[in-house]
Amino acid sequence: MEFPETGKHCSMRNCQLLDFLPFICGHCQATFCKEHLHTISHDCLKIKSPEPNLEKLLSFICSKESCKEVSPIQMPCVKCKQHFCLAHRYHGCLELSEMGKTQKLKKWQIPKKQFAEAKVLVDQQITDSLKKSKNTAIANKIQLMRVKGSAIGPKNIPMSERCYFFVHLPLIVKNKHIGTSKGVFVNSQWTVGKCIDSIADTLKVPNNNAATTNKLLLYHHSNGALICNKMDTPLTELFENFTMIDGQQVVLEYSDNVPIETSLYK
């Protein structure tokens, strides 16, 4: 060799590696290469007897074949359980195979598909609701126009204050001039009680305000429910909270607040 005095051979009999940067054991003072530096690696004779701090002398060599990095702390892979240094901690052990990637992708696509299906369903429900709402609004406008065309009521009510109802008469009332139903207008500023009195007067329906039972009340023709049991409630309030709408069908009937059977009123 050109520089025979450079470097020293490892003291391990089965190694004898010529190391240009040799390490000296702090216990036995022998020279070793990087691989056999630690006391466990060269079976150091100076620490054969048990010592309380022997665990601190343990070292762990990286399991990567091309790496001899050692560490006093074991860092095992969660999958293969082998120790790897920081540089090789991502050694490909946890990488998914093509089949694994495909399965994982399918797993994540399931909630995505479910969300898409739910979104389509909700969008359709919203569309149907808007369509129904639009159709209802159009139907209400047509109903109002029909009622206005033949409605009767007090002529002293200003046109701007009139509201209209298609009224079905009580079952026991027979009026050959009006029939069983008729369009009526009242003042939107009136209360429910005054509205009933005016409708009864316009349609010639007997109205006994002093009666304790079976008074004249207004009902929804759509479901037979009582519109309002408080006679001093303004009609404007019922319009504002959509309890009533202008031009709707109502039933004027003698009752004691119980629902009615709407199929009887045609």
In the predicted structure, residue 63 carries a pLDDT above the cut 50? yes
Q: What is the pLDDT of residue 220?
A: 93
What DSSP character marks residue 56?
G
Q: What is the pLDDT of residues 174-192, one digit of tens each?
A: 877 888 899 999 999 999 9
Q: What is the pLDDT of residue 193?
A: 93
Q: Is 110 helix (H, G, I), strand (E, B) or coil?
A: helix
Distance, CA of 69 to CA of 233 (rounded, Å): 89
Instruction: Report CA-CA distances (Å) from 62 to 14, 22, 75, 76, 251.
Output: 21, 20, 9, 10, 91
Adjacent-strand bridge partners of 164 = 185
In the predicted structure, residue 129 carries a pLDDT above the cut 60? yes
**Per-residue pLDDT band at 18 (split at 50, 70, 90):** confident
Distance, CA of 217 to CA of 196 (rounded, Å): 7
H helices of 165-266, in order, are 192-202, 235-240
Q: What is the pLDDT of residue 12?
A: 87
Which segment, 65-74, 202-211, 220-229, is predicted with the most confidence on average? 220-229
Q: What is the pLDDT of residues 109-120, one digit of tens each?
A: 888 888 888 888
Q: What is the pLDDT of residues 138-187, one digit of tens each?
A: 777 888 888 898 899 999 999 999 999 999 999 988 877 888 899 999 99
Nearby residues of 218 by Cβ (< 8 Å), 6 or more positions away: 192, 195, 196, 226, 227, 228, 250, 251, 252
Residue reference for tokens 């009139």: 162
Q: What is the pLDDT of residue 42?
A: 82
Q: Measuring CA to CA, which residue among 87, 92, 85 is closest to residue 70?
A: 85
Distance, CA of 75 to CA of 56 (rounded, Å): 15
What DSSP character marks residue 159?
G
Task: Answer yes or no: are the C-beta atoms of 249 and 151 closer than 8 Å.
Answer: no
**Per-residue pLDDT band at 95 (split at 50, 70, 90):** low
Q: What is the pLDDT of residue 117?
A: 86
Which segment, 86-90, 111-115, 215-219, is predicted with the most confidence on average? 215-219
Residue type, 237: E
Residue type, 156: N
Provide the token pair at 36.
Answer: 């056999």
**Per-residue pLDDT band at 1 (split at 50, 70, 90):** very low
